[in-house]
């Protein structure tokens, strides 16, 4: 049975309103709106990607395609049991929650524009305010800019951060904690560098401890 209570009821209302959102379609950025996200009110961990892909749009489930399978492998390395366990414990959304379409040259999915991110931002802001997540995982550079503006993946992957952007050297005292990860897309060449793979390995080790910390609070 799904948990009940004021927060669960408020999230249910928020999710129904978000699923009905057509802002980007009305503005002409996408041909049709189909917001994709998943999660429940009791989850203490928030994962924020870039945008759904065509597979996610078809299945109405975040990270359902090839990138998602890679992400799930990373999270299993960080101590979660399997994909079902990941989805049970982590709220998943994105900077824009509708599929932005393909790039004009056909080489992959289009990166959402700044205007689309602005239109979708109130939904993400509302989710954060309602859930008060203890651990937030920005996935990829677009999400990183939202939570740690002005930083590069090379500078942040492998470390954890307080909400004010300072590096956490020991155990966290306050929430939320930010733990950035690179985007798992096969189109990304970021992980072609062995030094960057080592940064990802370090991030996943840190993530294992942070998941335990995030879920230990009442």
Give per-residue pLDDT as tens, 14-71: 999 999 999 999 999 999 999 999 999 999 999 999 999 999 998 999 999 999 999 9
Q: What is the mean pLDDT of the chain?
A: 95
Q: List the domain range (segments joined by +) for residue 10.
A: 6-216
1 is a domain residue:
no
Residues 196-202: what's their mean pLDDT? 97
145 is a domain residue:
yes
Q: Provide the whole-model pTM.
A: 0.95
Q: How confident is the model at residue 136 (pLDDT cuts 50, 70, 90)?
A: very high
159 is a domain residue:
yes
95 is a domain residue:
yes
Per-residue b or e along 180-217, where b marks 16 or more CB atoms closer than 10 Å to that residue's CB: bbbbbbeebebbeeeebeebbeebbebbeebbebbeee
Residues 6+ apart with CB under 8 A from 209: none
Question: What six digits make up the tokens of 88?
Answer: 């049970």
Number of domains in the chain: 1
End-to-end CA distance of the chain: 20
């Amino acid at each position: 049975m799904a948990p009940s209570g004021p927060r669960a009821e408020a999230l249910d209302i928020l999710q129904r309103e978000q699923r009905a959102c057509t802002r980007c379609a009305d503005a002409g950025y996408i041909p049709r709106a189909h917001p994709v996200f998943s999660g429940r009110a009791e989850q203490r961990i928030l994962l924020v990607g870039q945008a759904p892909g065509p597979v996610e749009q078809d299945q109405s489930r975040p990270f359902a395609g090839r990138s998602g399978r890679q992400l799930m492998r990373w999270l299993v390395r960080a101590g979660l049991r399997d994909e079902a366990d990941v989805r049970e414990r982590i709220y998943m959304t994105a900077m824009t929650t509708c599929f932005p379409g393909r790039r004009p040259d056909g080489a992959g999915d289009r990166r959402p524009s700044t205007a689309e991110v602005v239109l979708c931002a109130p939904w993400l802001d509302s989710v954060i305010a309602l859930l008060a997540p203890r651990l937030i995982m920005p996935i990829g550079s677009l999400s990183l800019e939202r939570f740690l503006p002005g930083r590069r993946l090379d500078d942040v992957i492998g470390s954890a951060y307080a909400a004010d952007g300072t590096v956490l050297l020991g155990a966290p005292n306050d929430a939320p904690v930010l733990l950035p990860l690179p985007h798992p897309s096969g189109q990304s060449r970021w992980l072609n560098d062995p030094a960057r793979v080592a940064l990802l390995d370090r991030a996943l080790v840190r993530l294992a401890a942070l998941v335990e910390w995030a879920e230990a609070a009442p």
